């Protein structure tokens, strides 16, 4: 059964986001021990990247590089196109983004060094937004159908279980098949005698750039599907947490009361989101699909510390 199409916009492309360095997108103060928390889904408590952060970072990139883009894409009225695309003070833009949710999250494990995890709901979210695409190739149709069948079959996955796929590294585990994630979560491994989903996801997210061969291979070799609650717990436990300080400029000593804790997404986290276009009057705008594909955008804060380097893939 196909989903009805949204009335006021169309899902033009899926966007895959790979963190090449740790990422901080925050602004939400914590009530516990962590002062600078990541943005989170209010229902699932899973860290996400809000659409406003993506849109702001993309606009900033375009504004900073508009002369280069003007020449590269032969755009004479680039300032007007930027405003038409992203909006201005009294005018709504014609391009929107969805919140980016983690599809593949890297975690330390007692087998395989590190492995990729996802959840039943994360897979279903991927198939849902993919189903809205106006133009879907054969592989995308196959992925949507495969995930739909998978979710129906494994929607009641137990909290202490992890599903793995045919021809993965877990076939080599001798004796009782269990895995320990983050030295804390011990899960019973159950095999799915099929490799369609990891193969299609690997193909969906793979990046044609230096430095992605081994990490992309990890997806098909190590992918585990977790129960939704377990996935949320492991993701939150697997975030990077750093202690930050501020120094007095003159003395280079620690400022009083300037100790704080910060959360970060680890590098090689893979997010899924979508690029949406308004159905009415969406002309004379920038072709963001071309601009973003295989490009690097800096998201979030701490740019001066090398954080937030994110590569985009347009699907």
Contacts of 193 by beta carbon, 8 Å cutoff, 6+ apart: 166
Residues 60 and 56: their CA atoms lie apart, in Å, by 6
Q: 120-125: which pairs have CB atoms within 8 A and are 24 or more residues apart?
A: 120/150, 120/151, 120/154, 120/155, 120/157, 120/225, 120/226, 120/227, 120/228, 121/44, 121/228, 121/231, 122/231, 123/147, 123/150, 123/151, 123/197, 123/225, 124/151, 125/101, 125/272
Which of 26-35, 58-67, 84-93, 275-284 is least confident?
A: 26-35
SS3 154: helix
* Residue 266 and residue 19 in contact, taking contact as beta carbons nearer than 8 Å: yes
How many other C-beta atoms are found inside a 10 Å radius of the C-beta of residue 254? 12
| Predicted confidence (pLDDT) at residue 247 exceeds the cutoff of 80 | no
SS3 252: coil
Average pLDDT, the chain: 91
Residue with tokens 């979560």: 185
Better-predicted residue by pLDDT, 203 or 305: 203
What's the pLDDT band for 30 if we cut at 50, 70, 90? low
pLDDT of residue 107: 98
Residue with tokens 């979508």: 274
Give the best-scoring range by mean pLDDT among 6-15, 30-39, 173-182: 173-182
Which of 96-110, 128-142, 273-287 is least confident?
A: 273-287
pLDDT of residue 9: 79
How many other C-beta atoms are found inside a 10 Å radius of the C-beta of residue 39? 20
* Residue 1 and residue 270 in contact, taking contact as beta carbons nearer than 8 Å: no
Q: What is the pLDDT of residues 71-114, one digit of tens each?
A: 999 988 999 999 999 998 888 889 999 999 999 999 999 999 99
Give the number of C-alpha atoms closer than 13 A to the C-alpha of residue 82, restricted to the C-beta side. 19
pLDDT of residue 2: 58
Residues 183-196, mean pLDDT to the nearest whole number:
96
pLDDT of residue 8: 72
What's the pLDDT band for 34 if we cut at 50, 70, 90? low
| Predicted confidence (pLDDT) at residue 28 exceeds the cutoff of 70 | no
Residues 141-152, mean pLDDT to the nearest whole number:
97
Nearest to 39 by CA among 63, 64, 56: 56
* Residue 36 and residue 258 in contact, taking contact as beta carbons nearer than 8 Å: no
Q: Does pTM surpass 0.85?
A: yes
Pairing assessment for the beta strands 91-92 and 95-97 based on DSSP bridges: unpaired
| Predicted confidence (pLDDT) at residue 160 exceeds the cutoff of 60 | yes
Tokens for 159?
A: 């909290």
Residues 157-170, mean pLDDT to the nearest whole number:
96
What's the pLDDT band for 258 if we cut at 50, 70, 90? low
* Residue 302 and residue 83 in contact, taking contact as beta carbons nearer than 8 Å: no
pLDDT of residue 10: 86
DSSP 8-state class, residue 149: H
Give the number of C-alpha atoms closer than 13 A to the C-alpha of residue 24, restricted to the C-beta side. 21
Contacts of 168 by beta carbon, 8 Å cutoff, 6+ apart: 195, 198, 220, 221, 222, 223
* Residue 97 and residue 104 in contact, taking contact as beta carbons nearer than 8 Å: no
Share of the chain above pLDDT 90, in %: 74
Better-predicted residue by pLDDT, 9 or 206: 206
Nearest to 211 by CA among 109, 306, 143, 309: 309
Share of the chain above pLDDT 70, in %: 92
């Amino acid at each position: 059964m196909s989903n009805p199409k949204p009335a006021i916009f169309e899902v033009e492309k899926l966007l895959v986001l790979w963190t090449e360095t740790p990422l901080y997108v925050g602004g939400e103060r914590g009530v516990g021990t962590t002062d600078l928390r990541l943005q989170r889904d209010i229902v699932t408590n899973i860290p996400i990247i809000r659409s406003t952060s993506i849109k702001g970072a993309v606009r900033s990139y375009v504004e900073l590089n508009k002369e280069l883009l003007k020449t590269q894409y032969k755009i004479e009225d680039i300032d007007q196109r930027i405003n038409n695309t992203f909006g201005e003070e009294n005018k709504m833009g014609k391009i929107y983004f969805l919140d980016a949710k983690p599809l593949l999250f890297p975690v330390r494990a007692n087998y395989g060094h590190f492995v990729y995890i996802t959840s039943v709901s994360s897979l279903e979210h991927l198939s849902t937004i993919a189903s809205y695409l106006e133009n879907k190739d054969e592989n995308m149709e196959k992925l949507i159908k495969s995930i739909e069948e998978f979710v129906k079959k494994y929607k009641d996955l137990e909290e202490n279980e992890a599903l793995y796929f045919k021809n993965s590294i877990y076939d080599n585990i001798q004796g009782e098949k269990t895995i320990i994630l983050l030295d804390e979560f011990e899960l019973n491994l159950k095999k799915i005698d099929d490799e369609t989903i990891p193969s299609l996801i690997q193909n969906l997210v793979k990046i044609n750039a230096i430095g992605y061969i081994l990490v992309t291979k990890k997806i098909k070799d190590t992918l585990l599907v977790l129960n939704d609650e377990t996935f949320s717990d492991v993701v939150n436990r697997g975030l990077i947490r750093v202690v930050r300080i501020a120094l007095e400029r003159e003395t280079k000593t620690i400022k009083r009361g300037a100790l704080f804790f910060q959360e970060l997404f680890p590098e090689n986290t893979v997010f899924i989101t979508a690029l949406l276009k308004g159905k009415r009057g969406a002309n004379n705008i920038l072709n963001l699909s071309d601009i973003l594909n295989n490009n690097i955008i800096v998201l979030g804060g701490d740019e001066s510390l090398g954080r937030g380097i994110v590569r985009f893939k347009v699907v």
